[in-house]
Structures are given as C-alpha cells and as structure tokens.
Amino acid sequence: MTSRSNIADFSIPVTNVPRTDSIIAAIPMHNPSERRALIAEIKSELKRQNAVLVAHYYTSADLQEITEETGGYVSDSLDMARFGNEHSASTLVVAGVRFMGETAKILNPEKRVLMPTLEAECSLDLGCPVKEFSEFCDQHPDRTVVVYANTSAEVKARADYVVTSSIAVKLIEHLDEEGKKVLWAPDKHLGRYIERVTGADMLLWDGSCIVHDEFKSRALGNLIEQYPEAAILVHPESPEEVIDMADVVGSTTQIINAAQTLPNKQLIVATDKGIFYKMQQVAPDKEIIEAPTGGAGATCRSCAHCPWMAMNSLDNLLSVLKTGGNEIHISEKIRIKALQSTQRMLDFARSLDTQVLSHGNA
Ligand code: 13P
Ligand code: SF4
C-alpha cells in the first residue's frame, strides 16, 4: 500500500443531521392485526399499480421482508440500480435514500419512480453541492472525474464515471492502468482506501458518511480482545484506522457474502446495523456483533444506523402508493448527462462479470 494522499483543503459542513433515535421514535407502532392489514394493503397496491419494490440492506427488517415477499429486490446500491433497470414494472418504489431513487430515474426515464420519503438524504450527497464541486473539477481539468453513487444527479452529470463501493477499486485500477489521474468525490475514507490499495494518483473531495465516521478504532481494539476468534468486516466508508483492523473490507453485499463464507463463528461488523437482518438470514449459526461507535466516554448520534434510511417505513410506503406522491423528477438535460457516467458504471460492472465468467470463477 502507498501512503500518498491529496485531500481538498476545504470541506462543506453538513448540518441539521437528524438523530436516528428520534426518527425511529416517530414511526407509528402497530399491533399484529394492524400490521397484517397494512402489509395486505401494500401488497394489493403494488399489484394494482404494476409496481415493484427495490430496497437497500439498511432499511428496516419489515421493509426488506415485504420487498422480497412481493418479488422485489433487497441489495446494495449497484444491484439496486441494475435490478430497477432490468425489471419490467412500470413503477419502481425505491426504499433507501434519495440518490438511490435518482439513480433509478436516471436509468429509467419511462418509469415512474416513487420513494416512501423524499427527506431521506445522505451526508455524502449533502456535503458535495454541485456548484462547489464543478468549480473543483474546473480547477483540475487534467483529472478523470469519478464520483460515488452517493451524489445528486447534478454531480453525476458533471462526472466522467459513477461508481459504487463494490466495484470502486477495480474501476480505479483500470483507470490507473490507462495512465489516468483521478479526481474522486465525495467520500474521503473510501477514496483514501482505494488510493492505498491501487497506488493510483487521486485527488480527494473532503466528504464523509456520518454513520461510518462514528466507528472508533480504540474501542474496536478492546472488542477484538474480547472476541479474539471473530472476523472483522468493515465498509470502506469507515475511517482509515478502522479499515486497517479489518479482515474483509467491502460493500454491503460483499460483507454479507463474507458472513456466509468465512469460517469464523463470530463476526464484528462496522457498517449500518440494518444489514444484520440479511446477514443473520444467510448465516443463522453466526454471532453478529456491532462494532463500537461510542468510544471511551463519547456518545453516538446515529449509533450505527443511518437516520435517513430509518425514515422509510411501512406507513409512508403505503401512503406513497396510495397518493402517488414523492415521485422523483430530474430535468432531461441533467438526466441525459448523468446517464452517461451512470451507464459507464453499469457497463464496467458488466465487463467485470464477464471477466469472472471467462476465468471460470463464477
Ligand atoms: P453499498 O453500495 O455498499 O450498498 O453502500 C451504500 C451506502 O450508502 C453505504 O453507506
Ligand atoms: Fe449516506 Fe452514510 Fe446513510 Fe449510507 S449510511 S446513506 S453513506 S449517510
């Protein structure tokens, strides 16, 4: 690994971040019969409207369950985009955060894209406004602009490539082999990780995820002493010192796959705990342990659960299906530009699948 790192000398403050506990406390409680009635109504609305659900692993167990029961798909941000793009439903209902709904619309202009809430932001997206980002790109015209999927449609429109954490290392490796220098935004931790793994020449935007930023290396060290046999699984949006302690660094899907394939009976996981639902399904005999976010004497705000992901509920899902509100709209000018960089991501991902198949490792 190399140690060079160039991070932009300014950052955009992200303020008014909601607390996850307050968001969860505001979600209506239902007794079992009300819950059954709510789920039945959602199912019939989905059918009536030729709609399919696409949900992220960080949403609630309730949402993941109904998504799978109704023929929808629960996955990471890359596969959410791929599924929405390939499915024949005329309405996609995206349970996640806004950039996921926007990505669906960029790829599927002919489909209606709804979200249970349009207030579900992402600190990476909020910390990378298009005006400042464009100026930064203009100052570095010699660099290929690669942005993480956790960005607005406008920022995607300014980029050469969009990428998600599942294929980011491979894409930057590929660009590096072509002799390209990279401007990377917005996540500095993910950017720094890729830079160290690939040795590519990268200039990093100074953004971060408020959830993964809270994982603490010292407290993690103490936990590892308590569970010496545990494997450490870390999402690359985490700070460098936490990544350095990992046995596996990967996207949400890669973390779930590792839970299934690693021999360790105990797994310490540094990512949003919404993922535990799927991990426990694929590895029911394993003990899944939350990586610490508090640290000695400190407190957490998100406490390993994204406040914006937590805003998605069965109630606002039913409401959006009934009203047709919360539809994603993107101006055609922006969409067409954003489609180029987003389509490059899908094409690159497909070329990787082909390589895996041609090497017989599938
Ligand atoms: P994945 O692409 O790994 O699902 O990550 C999305 C995300 O927002 C992680 O915080
Ligand atoms: Fe954004 Fe972090 Fe929430 Fe993922 S977990 S959506 S990166 S704020």
Give pLDDT tens digits for 40-50: 999 999 999 99
pLDDT at position 5 is 67
Phi/psi for 241 (5° steps) reads -65, -30
Range 105-110, long-range pairs (CB < 8 A, 24+ positions): 105/153, 105/328, 105/329, 105/330, 105/335, 106/153, 106/156, 106/330, 106/335, 106/338, 106/339, 106/342, 107/81, 107/339, 107/342, 107/343, 107/346, 108/84, 109/332, 109/335
What is the rounded distance in angstroms from the CA atom of residue 276 to the CA atom of residue 233?
A: 12
pLDDT at position 1 is 46
Residues within a 6 A CB radius of ligand 1: 76-78, 150, 164-166, 209, 237, 251-252
Nearest bound ligand to CA 56? 1
The reply to whether ligand 2 has any atom less than 6 angstroms from the CB of 79 is no
Considering the domain 6-14+124-209+336-358, what is its CATH architecture? 3-Layer(aba) Sandwich (3.40)
Range 352-357, long-range pairs (CB < 8 A, 24+ positions): 352/167, 352/170
- Which protein residue's CA is at the shortest distance from atom 3 of ligand 2? 306
Ligand 2 pocket test, candidate residues 150, 189, 235, 273, most atoms within 8 A of CB: 150
* pLDDT tier for residue 358 given thresholds of 50, 70 and 90: very low
Ligand 2 pocket test, candidate residues 14, 272, 273, most atoms within 8 A of CB: 272
**What token pair was written down for 56?**
């992220």
Query: How does pLDDT run across 260-310, given as a tens digit for each residue?
Result: 999 999 999 999 999 999 999 999 999 999 999 976 566 799 999 999 999
pLDDT at position 356 is 52
Considering the domain 20-120+309-330, what is its CATH architecture? 3-Layer(aba) Sandwich (3.40)
274: closest CA among 60, 80, 54? 60
- Which protein residue's CA is at the shortest distance from atom 2 of ligand 2? 209
Residue ranges of the chain that CATH labels 3.40.50.10800: 6-14+124-209+336-358, 20-120+309-330, 212-290
CA quadruple 140, 141, 146, 147: dihedral, nearest 10 = 60
Please tell us whether the domain made up of 212-290 is placed in CATH 3.40.50.10800: yes
57 CA from centroid of ligand 1 (Å): 9
Instruction: Assess contact for 76 and 37: CB atoms under 8 A.
Output: no
What is the rounded distance in angstroms from the CA atom of residue 178 to the CA atom of residue 303?
A: 41
Give the predicted TM-score (pTM) of the model: 0.96
